[in-house]
């Protein structure tokens, strides 16, 4: 079996304050019948990822409604100051009165890589004009947006390839990460990599073994785009052990270069391009 690089960068982790974590776990159970198996608070999440070989953690959280991003981001700033090799896609909601002022302040923090837009939960489109000033700011500041914009594991009217493509056509220079490889529209999102040089996809939730398998295009697409794919675990929001997705990726017997790039090199290069370090 292929080997992982000595150090791993996990580009898709969720960290929330404890009470908010509890509310999300309960919501997943109620709305999707998903039993999250790793119900760990943020400190335990960080420790377990480190013990599992993750050297650098890139996490996100999101504002599911207006009025909570400011508090979440104060919490983000606190834990970023307490842990090494920890980076964040911070919370943002366009209906907050001081959203852009808050964004401008946060983007001065070298540990804040940009913002997370969870369109499935936040219920607005990626091409919503309220987001345009944020996109312009992120481009100017050389930061990024992490989009949950695919139709998987579940979808609604605000997500999907068509909506995301519309946003990218408006802002072709937007530095963007797409969670879950754009599931379930894998081919369409992978094809976008040929059009938008600052676009990356992350692997989270896409390479689980059966019966939850997602990605189904074979190895050629992955090898072709190996420089534009980032490993992400989705930890701790998992319904199977974290190791299951890694093992499944290794069983695909992809090239050693791909594993090195996806699990470390691409993430390291991306972080350095943002932080200058």
| pLDDT tens track for 187-220 | 999 999 999 999 999 999 999 988 887 999 999 9
Contact 248, 216 (CB under 8 A): no
Residue located via tokens 């964004």: 103
Determine the average pLDDT of the residues in 243-267: 96
Instruction: Give the HSE-up count for residue 91: Cα atoms under 13 Å, Cβ half-sphere.
Output: 27
- pLDDT of the residue at 210: 85
- pLDDT above 70 covers what percent of the chain? 99
Using omega within 30 degrees of 0 as the cis cutoff, is the peptide bond preceding 230 cis? no
Indicate the Cα dihedral angle 80, 81, 86, 87, nearest 10°.
50
Give just the sign of the alpha carbon dihedral 239, 242, 247, 249.
positive
Q: Is the pLDDT of residue 60 over 90?
A: yes
Axis crossing angle, helix 99-106 with helix 132-141, rounded to the nearest 10: 20
- Banded pLDDT at 4 (limits 50, 70, 90): very high
User: What are the pLDDT digits (tens) for 219-243?
Assistant: 999 999 999 999 999 999 999 999 9
Q: What is the average per-residue pLDDT within 105-133?
A: 98
Half-sphere exposure of 116 (CA within 13 A, CB side): 29
Q: Contact at 8 Å (CB) between 75 and 52?
A: no
**Residue, of 99 and 34, whose pLDDT is higher:** 99
* Rounded average pLDDT over 18-24: 95
The DSSP output letter for 166 is H
Sketch the domain layout of the chain as residue ranges: 8-275
- At 1, the pLDDT band (50, 70, 90 cuts) reads low
Domain 8-275 CATH assignment equals 3.20.20.140: yes
Over residues 118-128, the mean pLDDT reads 97
pLDDT > 90 in the chain, percent: 92
Average pLDDT over residues 173-195: 98
């Amino acid at each position: 079996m292929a080997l992982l690089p000595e150090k791993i960068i996990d580009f898709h982790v969720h960290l929330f304050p404890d009470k908010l974590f509890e509310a999300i776990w309960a919501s997943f159970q109620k709305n999707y019948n998903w039993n999250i198996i790793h119900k760990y608070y943020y400190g335990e999440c960080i420790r377990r990822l480190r013990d599992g070989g993750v050297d650098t953690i890139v996490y996100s959280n999101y504002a599911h409604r207006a009025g909570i991003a400011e508090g979440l981001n104060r919490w983000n700033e606190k834990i970023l100051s307490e842990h090494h090799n920890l980076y964040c896609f911070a919370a943002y909601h366009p209906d907050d009165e001081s959203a852009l002022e808050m964004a401008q302040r946060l983007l001065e923090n070298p540990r804040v890589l940009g913002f997370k837009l969870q369109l499935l939960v936040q219920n607005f489109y990626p091409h919503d004009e309220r987001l345009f000033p944020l996109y312009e700011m992120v481009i100017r500041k050389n930061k990024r947006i992490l989009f949950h914009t695919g139709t998987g594991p579940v979808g609604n009217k605000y997500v999907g390839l068509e909506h995301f493509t519309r946003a990218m056509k408006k802002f072709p220079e937007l530095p963007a990460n797409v969670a879950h490889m754009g599931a379930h529209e894998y081919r369409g999102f992978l094809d976008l990599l040929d059009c938008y040089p600052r676009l990356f996809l992350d692997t989270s939730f896409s390479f689980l073994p059966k019966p939850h398998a997602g990605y189904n295009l074979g190895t050629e697409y992955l090898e072709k785009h190996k420089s534009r794919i980032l490993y992400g675990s989705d930890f701790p929001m998992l319904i199977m052990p974290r190791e299951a997705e890694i093992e499944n990726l290794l069983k695909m017997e992809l090239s050693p270069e791909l594993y090195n790039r996806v699990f470390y090199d691409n993430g390291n290069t991306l972080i350095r391009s943002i932080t200058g370090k």
